[in-house]
Chain A
Amino acid sequence: MDEFLKSCAQSIIDGDGDVAETLAKQAVDDGAPLIDVIEKGFAAGIREVGRLWGEGEMFLPELVMGAEAMKRAMAILEPSIAGSGGLKEAAGRVVIGTIEGDIHDIGKTLVATMLSANGFEITDLGADVPAGRFVDEAEEKRADCIAISALLTTTMNGQKKVIEELENRSIRGQVKVMVGGAPCNDEWAKEIGADGYAGDAVAAVALARSLVD
């Protein structure tokens, strides 16, 4: 079993979706303990991908390939777990989007993909999202966290508006808020009363984990 789990992890590190998918199918067919296959196999792989990227050993496309391979494996494993009455708890529920007035999308999508590959349940609202919509969706999805991207100095103030909207609806205490994007930093997060800032997709995963724990 250990060797099998290692292969699962390696398929993610190699960013090889075909192999990841084959191994996931094999695990289902063999009746392997799927939660273990995820946690000790595939998820261990995606954590290693994050670590390698954080240390500059991998570059962005390899990170994306790892996340995409993870997605393919999970697409096979999750329905089987649900079908067998098992319960795979999401790491947390995150509503994510790029703030109103800003149509930069790809950085935010990367963060969403990495969060999803790391077990978070994601609602991706896309780009140019009004502050109120973040809060509407967070309420509806009972989100643990709202992640707001802004790539322009002219739009970053919208991140503050989301926090104000949460306060207006008296639910600020129920939802964590994380911010990211080129003009943002820790000071900005503090200034607007956000719970944290992440500078890249891997940092966003670590921050989201610490916020929802």
Chain B
Amino acid sequence: MEPVLVEGFGVEIDPEEITRLLGRGSGAPGAAAGRLERVIDEMLSRAGELIAPRGIYTVTPGSGLLGSTHFEGLERVAFCICTIGGGLEREVSELSAGDELLRAVVLDSAGSVAAEETAGYMERRIRDEAACEGLRISCRASPGYGDWDIEEQRAIFKLLPGERIGVRLSKSCMMIPRKSISFAVHVAEDPVRLRGENSCAECDVEDCPYRPPG
């Protein structure tokens, strides 16, 4: 299928997610708590102005990812690239260079949450389309996670015109803007678990600070 461009949607940034990413400590809120809350509010609203969520995806046979054997034998796999754009990280750099590291750190974290929400939005969109045909989707997998080699980003960018949403790949396979996510999901009646699934349940770093409690 022709790649589908999705834009003009918004994403919610949950302040709780920002503090989780920043590794909220186990101690009682310190003297800085009030000031910090104000900075989080301020950066949350700034993030809302700076992000421009967009995504592009296609559904192909697993063999459609040229040069990759990762999805061999799978009849339908959806590949997606999405981003919040480059505005937020430009401001993070400016804040950081201007000795405003606290604001930079909080805004960067808000950007990570927004990028994750953008991927979630795209995933739901693909899921809803699959549902129209009575199909389901697997969890998301991303290059660089598990045993899915990050170098296969190149294959995804051959399959999908990232430039249509303003995302390119550096020589070191890094997406620019950084707050971008690429992923694959298996589309089938009974989807398989993909290697490279980026869920905490699949990851063996037990004491990771980003792992949600419980």
Q: B174 to A103, Cβ gap below 8 A?
A: yes
Q: B101 to A62, Cβ gap below 8 A?
A: no
Give Cα A153 to B150, complex, Å: 8
Residues 1-38 of A contacting B (Cβ, < 8 Å): 13-16
Q: Which residues of A contact B176 (CB under 8 A)?
A: 103
State whether the Cβ of B48 lies closer than 8 Å to any Cβ in chain A. no
- Digitize B159-185: 1 where CB-to-A-CB distance is under 8 Å, 0 elsewhere: 000000000001111101010000000
Q: A101 to B36, Cβ gap below 8 A?
A: no
Q: Which residues of A contact B92 (CB under 8 A)?
A: 106
Give Cα A15 to B30, complex, Å: 9
CB distance from A149 to the nearest CB of B (A): 14
Q: B174 to A152, Cβ gap below 8 A?
A: yes
Partner-contacting stretch, out of A39-47, A49-57, A78-86: A49-57
Q: A61 to B151, Cβ gap below 8 A?
A: no
CB distance from A16 to the nearest CB of B (A): 7
State whether the Cβ of A155 lies closer than 8 Å to any Cβ in chain B. yes
Q: Which residues of A contact B26 (CB under 8 A)?
A: 56-57
State whether the Cβ of A171 lies closer than 8 Å to any Cβ in chain B. no
Partner-contacting stretch, out of B6-14, B59-67, B104-112, B193-201: B104-112
Binding site for B on A (CB under 8 A): 13-16, 52-53, 56-62, 64-65, 67-68, 71, 101-106, 109-110, 113, 152-155
Binding site for A on B (CB under 8 A): 19, 22-27, 30-32, 35-36, 39, 92-93, 96, 99, 101-102, 104-106, 108, 144, 150-151, 170-174, 176, 178
Contact sample, A vs B, 12 pairs, CB 8 Å cutoff: A14-B31, A16-B31, A16-B35, A59-B22, A61-B32, A61-B39, A62-B30, A64-B101, A65-B102, A68-B101, A102-B174, A110-B101
